[in-house]
Structure 1
Amino acid sequence: MTEIQCFGHTFSGAGVFGHLSDSKLGRKGSLTAVCILNAIFGCLTSLAPDYSTYLLLRFGTGFSTGGVGLCSFVLATEPVGPTKRGVAGMSTFYFFSTGIALLSSIAYIFPSWRALYVASSIPSILFLVLVVPFISESPRWYLVRGKTNEAMKIMRTIANANGHHLPDGVSLALDDEANDASNGNQIRKAATVEKEAISGSIVDVIRSPITRIRLFLAVGINFTCSVVYYGLSLNVVNLETNLYLTVLLNAVAEMPAFTITAVLLDKFGRKPLAIGTQWFSAIFCFMGSLTGNVGISKVIRMCCGLLGIFGMAGTYNLLFIYTAELFPTVVRNAALGCATQAAQMGAILAPFVVILGGGFPFLVFGVCGLIGGMLASYLPETLNKPLYDTMTGLEEGELA
């Protein structure tokens, strides 16, 4: 059933809502839509009368879930400046791991799968009622859509919340417009003049030599990382330990990884950490493949799994920040959605690796971590680099 849900997530949700988030619906609109769909499909699944209906509804759940992570992450990080973006981005994943930890408790309390689907749908409903009404749309999305006045209103609100005030006459401009201004060309006042919307798609990403290479590398890294991340999580069935306790420990093991990665992210940069965390995980996965599953060896293998997921959790969430910074606003969610699709392909493959049993899954996870780190070595560093808004701005910025 995990494969079916991931299939829907992979080939539909992440791609569809990635595009809609960059175009018509925006970040907030897409997030609202996926939460509504997630709640509806989750509750309806609990009423499924037969297996075929159950599969269809699980596909719908995967479809809606596909847009939740990328829409919420981009919406949370786009308004943040480069010096705080890493910490802000990594902080969002504490909620993800907390949710997994709570899920093990909820599953223990509600052993019936019908009751469990209802209980796991409640957070989406609460989010729609208690959080979404107080969220602002991304000012960067407003800017590329030509809605400069709305973008300026949000920027003033942000400034006021931080105890500051935007001086009169300050305006927002896209990357290419700012470059024109530096070359002596006159820009219309963005605060008072609405502009034509700029659109982009995954085709534009592939068409540009700069973003094409970045996309292929991001897809490969997300795929290998996901095989390890989800594989280690699912591999608890081979450890012959308490299922609920092991899932809880895996979730708890991720949290210090977020803290350490957030601290080191702005000190060493995205690229070294992306390489280091994957190779850290690979080392312990290789060690786990060499241990048995009896007596003290079982404990050692479980510890290797925990340390492996510790390293890969840092990578998995770092990749959201890294991928978002590699692409301009006009195609950011589309590119991130494509990378997310690759990650879910890895999630589909992971169970087939796990069922092989023994030390072989750990060996596969180690190889994937090693390859992922090698691919990351070809990506450019984005530490303290600006978030570009347009393809032209990115290309001119890279050539400068």
Structure 2
Amino acid sequence: MADGAPLLPCYNSSESLDGLGNLLPAESTTIDGTLESYVDGNCRSSQVLQAIFVSLAWVFDAQQTFISVFTDAEPAWHCTAVRCSSSSSSSSGSTPCGLPPGSWAWDSPAHTSVVSEWSLQCAGSAVVGLPASAYFAGCLIGGLLLSTLADTVLGRKTMLFLSCFTMSLSAALTAVSPNLWAYAAMRFLCGCGRATVGTSSLVLSTEMVGKRWREKVSISSFFSFTLGFLSLPAVAYLNRGASWRTLYLWTSIPCFFYSVLIYFRINESPRWLLVRGRRDEAIQALKSMAAANDRNNAITSSFSKLIVEENASVDVDVFSAMKMLWKKNWALRRLLATMIAGFGLGLVYYGMPLNVGNLGCDLYLSVTFNALAELPSSLITLFLVGRVNRRSSTVAFATASGAFSLACVAVTAGPWQMAAEVASFFSACTAFNLLLIYCIELFPTCVRNSAIAMLRQAVVLGGVLAPILVVEGRKRSFVSFGVFGVVVCSCGMFVACLPETRGRNMCDTMEEEESKQMANTSSNTP
């Protein structure tokens, strides 16, 4: 048995009971078989509702990820003196940098943006993009340091609570930043907290339900992200003219109350508890889900055939999950392929919404169009996920995203360029959704959270580079749209080397995954 996998499934000829006391075949004495017989075969509405509530964490994830589109935007300005040439107006795409003091003024109050409040209009692209890049850098570092904790000592629920709480607290502190450097530091801390929000939420919600509901619950996370993204321009529009600090407060307070509810009202993943050797807690979590039914004894009987090493998690290294991923060649190949594809998708996924200001369209309207593109993306993912292969569909949408991004360079007409940008973002969203579901099925429970966290870190790495490319793209569109297109097409091709997973059950240990691979190889051998 590999390190960090304390559960020893017992394969024997005896029969066990499901959640209703019915006899089950011998294979149900594995973790997956036993859990599927209860959480899927006897799935209650309370389980699904808990899973959907967990998915709402993506609402606050989206708001903090794209909030800089409004808070860090360069406001429109106008000339106030004859010395300011009318050709230098902001409508032509120039900046007031270099104009005599007093010859121009911002159209909005200076406190509406960090650029106008701290006079950053003449700063370089690295300085203006520093807060956004600091946020994504925090996501990257926070994910590398914290992602394994959800697989080892903390679990999915505790990790989600701490992440949401840290994200809300740092967002609130951002509102009192006295200067750009403090602002960037708070954004970095917010990124560290946010790093594991989406991962912990997605893994916890999908492990709370069976295979029949897994794909639907995954889609609810994507809808939640869309809801958060779509609510952001609405909140920003309602607070137009107010300080950019107000926007951070309005997005941090709901997140704080959500984190409190997570701590007191949500159960830990029974699947993770079993893998960590904590069978009694797993049974208690399932009893809590079934509080309205008198199944307590039946639930206990369902797990009586599992041999669990009760306090095995005491000696678990917090990096044991990562060690398992690196030691197994097949796991490392899968991890690298998904991360490379994730990097390309992240560059477009985070870069496109930040880049809408370079199209010369209304900022609120442009961000709304991008947010609305997430909705059909989630719908088409829901429609396709049970009907098409993960591998081919992910490659196809990544390629389409790159093609539309390159079209943004070739097309100069405003409306058509905006349409190409939205199409590229829509394709990247769909590819990202499919890749996340794909990753859930590629890795067993004992390393699943770490693997998905590494994928998201690769996506975030693309987000770290995106703000700099966006600022440079204000001068040359190919530096932003062109690079986005070339990179996402190239990186998306790496998905082609991954095995197909559509319709398969989730594995819980590395050995179980390897056994399934050997069985598939044998069945395919003539």
Residue 170 and residue 299 in structure 1: after superposition, are their counterparts in 2 closer, same or farther (change >3 A)? same
Picking from 132, 135, 139, the partner of 2:270 is: 139
CA drift of 1:188 comes to: 5.4
Picking from 442, 453, 463, the partner of 1:337 is: 453
Picking from 441, 444, 453, the partner of 1:328 is: 444
- What letter matches 1:364 in structure 2? V
Q: Does 1:77 align with 2:206?
A: yes
Residue 10 and residue 375 in structure 1: after superposition, are their counterparts in 2 closer, same or farther (change >3 A)? same
Say which is worse superposed, 298-307 or 129-138, in terms of deviation. 129-138
Alpha-carbon distance in 1 for matches of 2:188, 2:430: 28
Q: Name the Cα RMSD after superposition.
A: 2.3
Picking from 132, 143, 149, the partner of 1:2 is: 132
- Does the 8 A contact of 1:87 with 1:263 survive in 2? no
- In structure 2, the gaps of 5 or more residues are 1-130, 520-526
- Does the 8 A contact of 2:283 with 2:300 survive in 1? no
The residue that corresponds to 2:169 in the other structure is: 40
The residue that corresponds to 2:283 in the other structure is: 152
Alpha-carbon distance in 1 for matches of 2:178, 2:150: 34
The residue that corresponds to 1:356 in the other structure is: 473
**Equivalent pairs: percent with the same residue?**
34
Say which is worse superposed, 362-371 or 208-217, in terms of deviation. 362-371
Alpha-carbon distance in 2 for matches of 1:364, 1:206: 31
1:327-370 CA distances to partner (integer Å, 9 max, x unpaired)?
11111111211111111110011123222345413322222232
1:15-34 CA distances to partner (integer Å, 9 max, x unpaired)?
23311111111100011111
Alpha-carbon distance in 2 for matches of 1:243, 1:28: 37
Alpha-carbon distance in 2 for matches of 1:314, 1:258: 7
- Does the 8 A contact of 1:94 with 1:258 survive in 2? yes
Instruction: Give the helix-richer structure, 1 or 2.
Output: 1
The residue that corresponds to 1:288 in the other structure is: 408
- What letter matches 1:116 in structure 2? L
1:163-192 CA distances to partner (integer Å, 9 max, x unpaired)?
98984664349xxxxxxxxxxxxx6555xx
Q: Does 1:378 align with 2:507?
A: no
- Does the 8 A contact of 1:141 with 1:329 survive in 2? yes
Alpha-carbon distance in 2 for matches of 1:315, 1:161: 39
Residue 299 and residue 164 in structure 1: after superposition, are their counterparts in 2 closer, same or farther (change >3 A)? farther
Alpha-carbon distance in 2 for matches of 1:161, 1:299: 55
Q: Does 1:20 align with 2:149?
A: yes
- Does the 8 A contact of 2:444 with 2:509 survive in 1? yes
The structure, 1 or 2, with the larger RCO (C-alpha pairs under 8 Å, 6+ apart) is 1
The residue that corresponds to 2:72 in the other structure is: none
Say which is worse superposed, 215-224 or 225-234, in terms of deviation. 225-234
- Does the 8 A contact of 1:265 with 1:273 survive in 2? no
The residue that corresponds to 2:517 in the other structure is: 398
Partner SS, residue 302 of structure 1 = helix
Picking from 367, 375, 380, the partner of 1:255 is: 375
Alpha-carbon distance in 1 for matches of 2:293, 2:243: 47
1:202-250 CA distances to partner (integer Å, 9 max, x unpaired)?
1220110110000100110110001111121112011100011110110
The residue that corresponds to 2:335 in the other structure is: 215
Q: Does 1:273 align with 2:393?
A: yes
Partner SS, residue 56 of structure 1 = helix
* Structure ID, larger Rg: 2
Say which is worse superposed, 51-60 or 330-339, in terms of deviation. 51-60
The residue that corresponds to 1:182 in the other structure is: none
CA drift of 1:325 comes to: 1.8
The residue that corresponds to 2:95 in the other structure is: none
CA drift of 1:91 comes to: 1.7
1:57-90 CA distances to partner (integer Å, 9 max, x unpaired)?
2211111011111111111112333343222202
- Does the 8 A contact of 1:90 with 1:262 survive in 2? yes
- Does the 8 A contact of 1:234 with 1:351 survive in 2? yes
Alpha-carbon distance in 1 for matches of 2:301, 2:506: 19
- Does the 8 A contact of 1:93 with 1:317 survive in 2? yes
Alpha-carbon distance in 2 for matches of 1:305, 1:249: 10
Residue 284 and residue 63 in structure 1: after superposition, are their counterparts in 2 closer, same or farther (change >3 A)? same
- What letter matches 1:350 in structure 2? A
The residue that corresponds to 1:201 in the other structure is: 321
CA drift of 1:312 comes to: 0.8
- What letter matches 2:421 in structure 1? G
1:305-332 CA distances to partner (integer Å, 9 max, x unpaired)?
1111111111122222222221111111
The residue that corresponds to 1:315 in the other structure is: 431
Residue 323 and residue 233 in structure 1: after superposition, are their counterparts in 2 closer, same or farther (change >3 A)? same
The residue that corresponds to 1:127 in the other structure is: 258
With normalisation by structure 1, the TM-score equals 0.88
The residue that corresponds to 2:49 in the other structure is: none
- Does the 8 A contact of 2:132 with 2:187 survive in 1? no
- What letter matches 2:506 in structure 1? L
- What letter matches 1:273 in structure 2? S
Alpha-carbon distance in 2 for matches of 1:275, 1:31: 30
The residue that corresponds to 2:60 in the other structure is: none
- Does the 8 A contact of 1:156 with 1:166 survive in 2? no
- Does the 8 A contact of 1:15 with 1:334 survive in 2? no
The residue that corresponds to 1:61 in the other structure is: 190
- What letter matches 2:429 in structure 1? A
Alpha-carbon distance in 2 for matches of 1:104, 1:2: 17
Alpha-carbon distance in 2 for matches of 1:377, 1:24: 34
CA drift of 1:161 comes to: 6.9
Say which is worse superposed, 357-366 or 245-254, in terms of deviation. 357-366
Alpha-carbon distance in 2 for matches of 1:362, 1:304: 10
- Does the 8 A contact of 2:235 with 2:247 survive in 1? yes
The residue that corresponds to 1:113 in the other structure is: 244
Residue 76 and residue 285 in structure 1: after superposition, are their counterparts in 2 closer, same or farther (change >3 A)? same
CA drift of 1:195 comes to: 5.5
- In structure 1, the gaps of 5 or more residues are 174-186
Give aligned pairs, total.
380
- Does the 8 A contact of 1:6 with 1:62 survive in 2? yes
- What letter matches 1:287 in structure 2? A
With normalisation by structure 2, the TM-score equals 0.68
Partner SS, residue 268 of structure 2 = coil
